Amino acid sequence: MVERVFPRTPRRPARQPARQRPRLRLLLASGAASAALVAGTVIPLNPLLPAPQQAQAADGKKVLTVAVSQSVDSLSPFLAQKLVSTSIHRLTYEYLTNYDPKDAHTVPGFATAWESSADKLTWTFTIRKDSKWSDGVQATAEDAAWTFNKMMTDENAATANGSFTSNFKKVTAPDPETLVVELNKPQATMTALDVPIVPKHIWEKVGDFSKFNNDKQFPIVGNGPFIITDFKVDQYIKLKPNKDFWRGAPKFDELVLKYYKDGDAAVAALQKGEVSFTSGLTPAQAAALKSADNIKVNDAPGRRFYALATNPGARSKDGKKFGNGHAALLDPAVRKALFQAVDRKTVIDKVFQGHAVEGKGYIPPRFSAYFWEPSADQTIAYDPAEAARTLDTAGYEKNAAGKRVGKDGKPLDFRILCHATDPNDKAIGKYLQEWWGQLGIGLKVDCLDNVSDPWLAGDYDLAFDGWSVNPDPDYVLSIHTCGALPATPKDSGATDNFICDKRYDDLYAQQSAEYDPAKRAELVKQMESRLYDTGYMNVMAYPNAVEAYRTDQIKSITTMPEAAGNLWGQDGYWSWWSAVPADDGGGSGSSSSTGVVIGIGAAVVVVAALGLFVAMRRRSTAEDRE
């Protein structure tokens, strides 16, 4: 999942090569399919492709191959923030707790039980006895204590998840089955610490955590349901089942995540049976695949938001400014006018073609407890005429050529960062050029293979943004706090787009210490309201999870949530751990979703067929992070 929820301290080392953004940037179409996306047409897939190949290696192994379009940023759990990377780590390392696939409530993981002191400042976790590292060494509370202490004492080890430990005062392991965490103040995320626990006896040998990507020696030691056996940058990552996994070993003999830069190529590979699953389908691809033999399309409410982000002036914690963001965007009136000229309905209807819900607040509706939408008086509605009046009132008049002129006398011309592999960015970019052009504002759409470098350097005016949200929203809220800014201009912080607002920070601190669910939810909504009013972020849509798999290779697999959820990027390992090969015997090879019921006190897993996946329009409840 984007999975990354990192509130404050996680500072990335100087200029990490890849922006660890829980962006769900998966197999997106290009070429003709992109054009079809804009036009709203459907591209028929090639009916002359060869007969599907079974996902079975020459040695008879049952292989589950997942197509991905996102590069792995790091195989180190201390550095990785991209969705593809954090999804891999969920498969290979245990967290203290997990999320039930049915409704995302907290269930045991590496810890079987937990309790807090009356003042909520001391938390005691009981660590399971039946978890071993894949090299045979017993996994204990000492591994968890070492993981957390390393994050607390080494800022490079806190790059990805340091927000979870920024409030930790002391972490100890008095015995192999007991972990004690002492806090400086109450912390509401203590049953949602999404931190991979690593083996101390392996990681204590690491020197510089900012440079160690954990990609040189295989197999990689872990205690999750899968073990990483091989990795080639922008080619593949291979995993095998952990036969000693306490919840039971996966049923496929091998899991392969295969990289495709081109979405059409990934879809073609699915048709031919070269891959078992692909996600991030365009409307045209999804429409064509629905009529294909032995392929099931899953179209369900996702856990992402899709937004426009403005550069509020890149800065670091030491007060230094950097980057070359346009000064006019520091004016709230300019930001408001731009967003008044964004037609979200057109974005939903013409670009996502109904496979999304119109954007409101920062947290997707899939997470109903935290979903917020502006009041009628607060809403920045699509109104081009009002947008023009907003600029007129603020003093941005048009010159003789019809161009809006800034306070410096120069025409307003902005740049927007666009992901070259994402046809949604490109299509919406064209609409923005038209809409903002009518206001007299110019827009250059910079579509790049790597948006990380200019983004981290603050060398942009606007950007297409998006995060996957977790059941606990703390992380995606934290990336807009002042504490998430980089320490210096040379460092990389956990910030999304350099927002630093005292009122927002105060609300963040309050919600992070509030244990009452209703009161905390209200504080989160106040944060969303503040973020909306500042105008640095404009959520345009909540995209569906549109994905497909071969029913002649996968007999059953678990969505999250079970009723109508996603397969790729889950908060947990449920999909790939639960997947049953089509020829596994007992039952038909029909497309079914399996329900996983987890016993809180024991490793009890009951799998029940739930029938066909439910194809839905966009969601109306909200979800998690990354």
pLDDT in tens, 446-479: 999 889 899 999 999 999 999 989 999 998 999 9
SS3 31: coil
The tokens 């890149």 sit on which residue?
314
Per-residue pLDDT at 64 exceeds 50: yes
How many CB atoms are located within 10 Å of the residue 381 CB?
12
Q: Which residues pair with 446 in a beta bridge?
A: 417
Q: What is the structure's pLDDT at 163?
A: 85
Q: What is the structure's pLDDT at 57?
A: 61
> Helix axis angle, 332-340 relative to 384-393, nearest 10°?
160
Listed in sequence order, the residues at least 6 apart from 51 whose beta carbon sits closer than 8 Å to its beta carbon are: 273
Q: What is the structure's pLDDT at 452?
A: 86
378: which 2 tokens? 């607060």
Phi, psi for 25 (deg, rounded to 5): -100, 85
Q: What is the pLDDT of residues 313-359, one digit of tens each?
A: 999 999 999 999 999 999 999 999 999 999 999 999 999 999 999 99
DSSP letter assigned to residue 329: G
Q: What is the structure's pLDDT at 515?
A: 94
Q: What is the structure's pLDDT at 381?
A: 96
Listed in sequence order, the residues at least 6 apart from 155 whose beta carbon sits closer than 8 Å to its beta carbon are: 9, 11, 162, 487
Q: What is the pLDDT of residues 568-587, one digit of tens each?
A: 999 999 999 999 999 864 33
Per-residue pLDDT at 20 exceeds 70: no
Per-residue pLDDT at 622 exceeds 60: no
479 close to 497: Cβ distance less than 8 angstroms:
no
Mean pLDDT for the stretch of residues 427-438: 98
3-state secondary structure 155-210: CCCCCCCHHHCCCEEEEEEEECCEEEEEECCCCCCCCCCCCCCCCHHHHCCCCCCC
371: which 2 tokens? 């979903």
301 close to 541: Cβ distance less than 8 angstroms:
no
Q: What is the structure's pLDDT at 31?
A: 36
How many CB atoms are located within 10 Å of the residue 376 CB?
6
**439 vs 299: CA distance, rounded Å:** 36
**624 vs 182: CA distance, rounded Å:** 26
Q: What is the structure's pLDDT at 56?
A: 61
Q: What is the structure's pLDDT at 590?
A: 33
- Most confident among 9-18, 379-388, 489-498, 602-611 (mean pLDDT): 379-388
Listed in sequence order, the residues at least 6 apart from 95 whose beta carbon sits closer than 8 Å to its beta carbon are: 109, 110, 193, 194, 195, 196, 197
163 close to 7: Cβ distance less than 8 angstroms:
yes
pLDDT tier for residue 625 given thresholds of 50, 70 and 90: very low
69: which 2 tokens? 């379009």
Give the burial class of 71: count Cβ atoms within 10 A of its Cβ; 0-12 exposed, 13-18 middle, 19 or more buried.
Answer: middle
DSSP letter assigned to residue 482: G
Indicate the Cα dihedral angle 216, 221, 224, 228, nearest 10°.
Answer: 30
User: pLDDT over 90 for what percent of the chain?
Assistant: 77
Amino acid at 568: W
Indicate the Cα dihedral angle 17, 19, 24, 26, nearest 10°.
Answer: -20
Q: What is the structure's pLDDT at 233?
A: 95
623 close to 543: Cβ distance less than 8 angstroms:
no
163 close to 5: Cβ distance less than 8 angstroms:
yes
User: pLDDT over 70 for what percent of the chain?
Assistant: 84
DSSP per-residue codes, 256-315: EEEE-S-HHHHHHHHHHTS-SEE----HHHHHHHTTSTTEEEEEEE-SEEEEEEE----B
**CA-to-CA separations, 209 to 3, 8, 79, 153, 154, in angstroms, rounded:** 20, 19, 8, 12, 8
pLDDT tier for residue 311 given thresholds of 50, 70 and 90: very high
568 close to 557: Cβ distance less than 8 angstroms:
no
**207 vs 553: CA distance, rounded Å:** 43
Q: What is the structure's pLDDT at 70?
A: 87
Per-residue pLDDT at 125 exceeds 70: yes
Q: What is the structure's pLDDT at 540?
A: 97
Q: What is the structure's pLDDT at 55?
A: 56
Name the residue among 158, 146, 247 with its Cα closest to residue 199.
Answer: 146
**210 vs 182: CA distance, rounded Å:** 27
Q: What is the structure's pLDDT at 51?
A: 44
Q: What is the structure's pLDDT at 47?
A: 40
**523 vs 477: CA distance, rounded Å:** 11
Q: What is the pLDDT of residues 501-559, one digit of tens each?
A: 999 999 999 999 999 999 999 999 999 999 999 999 999 999 999 999 999 999 999 99
Which architecture, in CATH terms, is 76-222? Answer: Alpha-Beta Complex (3.90)
Per-residue pLDDT at 54 exceeds 80: no
Strand 413-419 to strand 442-448: parallel, antiparallel, or no bridges (unpaired)? parallel
**462 vs 212: CA distance, rounded Å:** 32
Options 3.30.230.10, 3.50.7.10, 3.10.105.10, 2.30.40.10; CATH of 304-543: 3.10.105.10
pLDDT tier for residue 49 given thresholds of 50, 70 and 90: very low
Q: What is the structure's pLDDT at 60?
A: 83
**Range 55-69+225-300+546-590 classified under CATH 3.30.1370.10:** no
Q: Which of 166-180, 338-352, 414-428, 572-586 shows the lowest per-residue confidence on average (mean pLDDT)?
A: 572-586
Sign of the dihedral through C-alpha 407, 409, 411, 414: negative
Q: What is the structure's pLDDT at 58?
A: 57
Mean pLDDT for the stretch of residues 209-235: 97
460 close to 412: Cβ distance less than 8 angstroms:
no
SS3 429: helix
Mean pLDDT for the stretch of residues 417-440: 95
What is this structure's pTM?
A: 0.80
Strand 295-301 to strand 442-448: parallel, antiparallel, or no bridges (unpaired)? unpaired
